[in-house]
Structure 1
């Protein structure tokens, strides 16, 4: 990654009040969600067929329940959402450098589950460099996927009340 590109990302993240820990957690959750979807697919919810034996007293609301319809819609929507998230992650990964992409894939998307220090040795870089590359890749992924969590700054609440 060129120096100019690094300065642009650095300026972006230092000028905005981004909560680094919450942003990192959001990116890690998205990576874990996409990893699970790619490994096993969508775990669909099924309708319960066991009736409840407690009496239900309700008034004449003329409202009917369609649990199977709701579940079918939820399953279809959830699968479409996970496919969209997976495609967005692929596009975001294309914007990373080769080292950053390899670090993210080894840390989060591989099925091997290697520790970071093992990946450092296999890549031939130090632990500090590995963590630095990983942190910058997570920042870029957060910006690319729209997962930044901004800090809420409280405004000065001391207002003057004028009597008139």
Structure 2
């Protein structure tokens, strides 16, 4: 008897016009960003030149340039954003099965770069099964982290028009 697919995340990909390639790229970029943050930490940007304490007015607008202030604010905001993304990934990883979680950790979050075929051998599964598990885990993460990339209705119309004109 076949197992019934009760995973709600996979049905989203079947029912909505999601660009699977772009979604996969978006999830992989987010995983890479979080891996760098977890391994290295946050690297703050620093000002190349310390601004003077005197206000410098620009023309008639009376705007004051505050590069140090803008830099400090962007550092704080960026670090808070990375922490939020890391916590969101942890929550999304909880929705994966144990095998899917291990595949994602080995492929994207591990410190050392390891080829997929080596991970397959260590896990005792075939390459095809490994790729299938990895693809389904990436789809689940995309929905859980809200990284789905939807196809434009215009691009669908262009494709339909191209199909019609070719026949």
Residue 22 of structure 1 aligns with which residue? 22
Offset at residue 49 of structure 1 (A): 1.1
TM-score, normalised with respect to structure 1: 0.85
Residue 161 of structure 2 aligns with which residue? none
Residue 4 of structure 2 aligns with which residue? 3
Offset at residue 43 of structure 1 (A): 1.2
Cα distance in 2, alignment partners of residues 87 and 94 from structure 1 = 11
2:27 alignment partner, SS class: helix
Cα distance in 1, alignment partners of residues 129 and 67 from structure 2 = 52
Offset at residue 156 of structure 1 (A): 6.3
TM-score, normalised with respect to structure 2: 0.84
With over 3 angstroms needed to count, the CA separation of the structure-2 counterparts of 1:156 and 1:89, relative to structure 1, is closer
Residue 151 of structure 2 aligns with which residue? 151
Cα distance in 2, alignment partners of residues 110 and 144 from structure 1 = 21
1:88-122 superposed Cα distances (whole Å, 9 cap, x missing partner): 00000010000000000000000111000000000
**Count of aligned pairs:** 151
Residue 138 of structure 1 aligns with which residue? 138
- For 1:1-164, what aligned pairs fall within 5 Å after superposition? 3-6=4-7, 8-49=8-49, 59-154=59-154
Identify unmatched segments of 5+ residues in structure 2: 52-57, 159-167
Aligned residues of 2:10 and 2:136 also touching (Cα < 8 A): no
Offset at residue 9 of structure 1 (A): 3.3
Offset at residue 50 of structure 1 (A): 7.2
Structure ranking higher in helix proportion: 2
Could you say what the CA RMSD is over the residues aligned between the two structures, in angstroms? Answer: 2.1
Aligned residues of 2:17 and 2:150 also touching (Cα < 8 A): yes
